[in-house]
Amino acid sequence: MGPTHEALLELQQIDDQIVTALARVGAFEERFREVEAPLRTLESEVDALRTRVADLKQQIHKLETGAQNKRERQYAYEQRIERTRSMREESAARAEIDLIRRAVDADVAEARDVGQETTRAELRLADLEKQVEKVRAEVEPKRAELQQESDEAQAALDQLREQRTARVAGIDRDALTLYERVRGRRDRRALAPMTEEGACGACFNTLPLQEQTEVRRADTLKRCEACGVILYPQA
């Protein structure tokens, strides 16, 4: 086997390890989601309930403000009654006052109901916030452990990439270009051995005798005409 074949085989081995390392690093995203899922679910529920409580309080404020505005209108009509000299105007004013009073009572009753709902929601929110703290305390150690594993996996990947850079620096440019073109996607093997019977070790297509001789000589890079891999002689 020639030195170029040996260098490319070493590069292929590193690339195969990088593929495995990339898969390992990529798997941590899903593992983090699984570990954090219970906490995220509770946090989402807490956020939704906080928004609900804020909306309820805004609704109470709106009802109370509306009731106060109606009371002011009621007071204005009561003042008008004191100044009116017409029975018709007084009757109309009292009818309007009666309508306003009913509207005020409705606003007050609704505000009371909404206030009770707000109280229940706040109690539920306080309970959920305690659950969040409890689950967070359980999740954090698991997440820290997983983060350490993730960091170690990333460090291993970085080290492999450094090894690849060093290995590539010593390979002939044309040979490297051919290797990269044949490999294409990261998970495809660019080199395969020629079997003792003179067949491609990747697709098992039998090579012509002349090409078998050239592969065994190993002074150039020969590719399988069927599948395109770079062939090398078995030791």
Model pLDDT for residues 148-174, shown as the tens digit of each residue: 999 999 999 999 999 999 999 999 999
Residue 6 lies in a domain: no
Digit-coded pLDDT (tens) for 25-77: 999 999 999 999 999 999 999 999 999 999 999 999 999 999 999 999 998 98
Residue 192 lies in a domain: no
What average pLDDT does this structure show over 129-143? 97
Q: Give me the count of residues in the chain.
A: 235
Alpha-carbon gap, residue 127 to 118, rounded angstroms:
14
Burial of residue 226 (number of CB atoms within 10 Å: 0-12, 13-18, 19+): middle
Alpha-carbon gap, residue 9 to 13, rounded angstroms:
6
Question: Look-up: residue for tokens 């297509």?
Answer: 205
| Helix (H) or strand (E) segment spanning residue 230 | strand 230-233
Residue 104 lies in a domain: yes
Residue 227 lies in a domain: no
The parent domain of residue 118 ranges over 12-169
CATH value at residue 38: 1.10.287.1490
Residue 217 lies in a domain: no
Least confident of 82-96, 158-172, 201-215: 82-96
Q: What is the pLDDT of residue 186?
A: 62
Q: Secondary structure of 180-221 in the HEC alphabet?
A: HHHHCCCCCCCEEEECCCCEECCCCCECCHHHHHHHHHCCCC
Residue 198 lies in a domain: no
Per the structure, the count of domains in the chain is: 1
What average pLDDT does this structure show over 91-115? 93
Residue 206 lies in a domain: no
SS3 at position 205 = coil
CA atoms within 13 A on the CB side of 9: 14
Question: Look-up: residue for tokens 């086997």?
Answer: 1
